[in-house]
């Protein structure tokens, strides 16, 4: 079973936790938002598994390395994502090498992100992460490479099937280190994860996405086959969304369907309840 995390507005964070397997923190929000920071510090104290992200998707460049290391030291997450560079294999490798050298004793386990513009660069970056002995390897949902290998008028279909093909190719070509857990960063279309129910993908440990939450906040319910478009809204921009504006039932419905697509399960919680 793939572990699932859904980023959510602070007002519903603790309830959404009941339906997820672990929590996913964005480092820039820890710095900017005291309520957000307090929420994750409580999660850590309660023993929740937490991945600390370097916020590259939200900021379009990774958080500054020294400040990021300071937040790893303060929060003490289960996992932390080494600062990377979007689709830049060489820079990502260089930054990972420097980060591992400069911060060898951080609490938690390291996650190295694979980046690149084509298959050769992606493979080179993957092999570098293995050589660096990171504890987990992450693959993103929206490489431009996906639109090259699976051209489609709907880019979200390209992203969905492109990652499926990339993972299949890496496995078939013998590059996947099955001794390491792997993380899937984000998603384009939620039905993608049904492709990984096969036992040959048992090395996929976890995924994170705000997709079911963002679409519920926009009043969009997943269909029985998922979605065929995607709201471009980023969850971090909705982190202080007012509870009174949230359709709790729709949140629950989307979470249920997402878990069904991924693991063939209903949520680990029973119902969303608010006082």
With a CB cutoff of 8 Å and minimum separation 6, the contacts of 67 are 27, 31
Residue 21: predicted pLDDT: 97
Residue 57: predicted pLDDT: 79
Residue 168: predicted pLDDT: 98
Q: For 173, how many CA atoms within 13 A lie in the half-sphere containing its CB?
A: 13
Residue 194: predicted pLDDT: 97
Q: Give me the residues of the chain with pLDDT under 50, please.
A: 270-275
Rounded Cα gap, residues 234 and 185, in angstroms: 14
Residue 269: predicted pLDDT: 60
Q: Pick from 108, 115, 117: which is nearest to 84 by CA?
A: 115
Residue 235: predicted pLDDT: 80
Residue 268: predicted pLDDT: 62
pTM, 2 dp:
0.94
Rounded Cα gap, residues 175 and 169, in angstroms: 9
Structure confidence by residue, pLDDT tens digits, 188-210: 999 999 999 999 999 999 999 99
Structure confidence by residue, pLDDT tens digits, 90-104: 999 999 999 999 999
Q: E strands, 44-201, where?
A: 50-53, 79-81, 109-113, 136-140, 182-185
């Amino acid at each position: 079973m793939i572990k699932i995390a859904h980023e959510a507005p602070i007002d519903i964070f603790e309830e959404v936790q009941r339906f997820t397997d672990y929590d996913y923190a964005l480092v820039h929000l820890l710095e900017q938002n005291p309520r957000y920071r307090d929420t994750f510090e409580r999660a850590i104290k309660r023993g929740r598994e937490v991945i600390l992200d370097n916020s590259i998707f939200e900021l379009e460049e990774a958080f500054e390395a020294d400040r990021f290391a300071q937040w790893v030291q303060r929060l003490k997450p289960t996992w932390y994502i080494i600062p990377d560079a979007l689709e830049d294999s060489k820079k990502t490798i260089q930054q990972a090498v420097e980060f591992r050298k400069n911060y060898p004793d951080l609490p938690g386990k390291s996650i190295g992100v694979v980046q690149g513009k084509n298959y050769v660069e992606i493979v080179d970056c993957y092999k570098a992460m293995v050589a660096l002995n990171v504890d987990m390897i992450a693959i993103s949902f929206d490489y431009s490479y996906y639109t090259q290998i699976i051209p489609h008028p709907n880019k979200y279909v390209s992203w969905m099937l492109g990652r499926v093909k990339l993972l299949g190719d890496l496995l078939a070509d013998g590059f996947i280190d099955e001794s390491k857990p792997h993380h899937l960063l984000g998603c384009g279309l939620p039905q993608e994860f049904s492709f990984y129910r096969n036992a040959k993908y048992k090395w996929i440990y976890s995924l994170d996405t705000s997709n079911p939450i963002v679409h519920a906040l926009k009043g969009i319910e997943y269909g029985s086959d998922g979605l065929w478009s995607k709201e471009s809204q980023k969850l971090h921009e909705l982190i202080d969304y007012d509870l009174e504006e949230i359709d709790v039932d729709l949140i629950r419905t989307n979470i249920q369907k997402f878990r069904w697509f991924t693991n063939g399960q209903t949520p680990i919680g029973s119902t969303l309840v608010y006082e």
